[in-house]
Amino acid sequence: MNLSGRLRSSKGPRCLITCELKYTRSTKSSDEEAQKIRKTVYTFLWKLREKKAKCNRKENAFLTKNTEWLETSLSFELPKLKVGVRGRPDKAFDTCSERAKRFKTQDIRETCSKEMLAYATQMSYRAGGRSDIARKITDLTSQPLQPPSPKPESKSTNKTGMSDDEGLAMMIDADLSRNQYEIIREKSKVFPSYKCIQNAKKRCYPEPEYFRITEYSAEIQLQALLNLTSKRLCMAQENDFNILDDTVKEDQVDVKLICKWGFDGCTQSEYKQKFVDSQNSDGHLFITCLVPIRMVLKK
């Protein structure tokens, strides 16, 4: 709904002001709202004609008698346009991630005390018909806070040493250097020596005749890589295969290895690395990856 006005005055020190109103009805305005505005305009015009008639349509007399009335303002109550909520729609709380839940409850946690939150929680469960949970919350919050009891010391220390493969896995997961690993091993002899770690690492490599390494590339035969991966997985799951031998009567068990493969590449700064062949460069790298997903019994 649009309402516009234009003022027109006559010449002279004191002038009679005429207000021309233009009303445009939009599609979103109702008939009731249009009727209210029309009634207000008609009432104003009727009073204007009546006051001018009492003054015999004389301008000076009209301005003198109706000074206060002319200074009053005429207001219209226009409807407010409904604008939809912009932005991403709000998700339900139970479908949000842990980070989003912390963000949504940050104001509540900062403004409300722990006692108030606990009371509101148990009352909410009680209103939802879960009085059992509400009683548990009340019991937990009403108990005095006790210091945690010290853990009993273990009477027997585990003297079993770590295997070479377990030591290699720990060193890789923790991203330890040789010096860091040896410092840790000095505190506990449970860890294998670094020489055993090197031997375990060599067992993860294929035979030398199956791969080739140059100054600009490293290649390995696909079948040799699959054989080595399957062998290492079977060795890691040796206990499971021993249990399977007791339950399956066949002398040989067939398994299927499921893998995924893909490519990746990157561009990096060239370093002052001298190559035998001057045409080679380390500015671009490309790699082919093979990742085992799972190993299942073959039916």
Give me the sign of the Cα torsion angle 178, 180, 186, 189: negative
* Selection from 273, 275, 296, 263 nearest residue 215 by Cα: 275
DSSP 163: P
What is the per-residue pLDDT for 27?
A: 46
User: With 0-12 CB in 10 A as exposed, 13-18 as middle and 19+ as buried, what is 40?
Assistant: middle
What is the distance between the alpha carbons of residues 77 and 69, in angstroms, rounded to a whole number?
20
Share of the chain above pLDDT 90, in %: 13
Q: Does the structure show a pLDDT above 80 at 114? A: yes
pLDDT, mean of residues 41-52: 83
With a pLDDT cut of 70, the percent of the chain lying above it is 77
Where exactly are the structural domains of the chain? 8-22+30-71, 95-142, 209-246+253-271+280-298
The kind and range of the H/E element at 105 are: none
Axis crossing angle, helix 114-127 with helix 131-142, rounded to the nearest 10: 160
Q: Give 77's Cβ-side CA count (13 Å radius).
A: 7
Residue 198 confidence class, pLDDT cut points 50, 70, 90: very high
pLDDT band at residue 266 using 50, 70 and 90 as cut-offs: confident
| pLDDT at site 2 | 42
Alpha helices in the chain (DSSP H): 31-54, 59-65, 67-71, 98-104, 106-111, 114-127, 131-142, 164-173, 178-187, 194-202, 222-236, 238-247
Q: What is the mean pLDDT of the chain?
A: 77
Q: Is the pLDDT of residue 260 over 90?
A: yes
pLDDT-based confidence at 223, cuts 50/70/90? very high
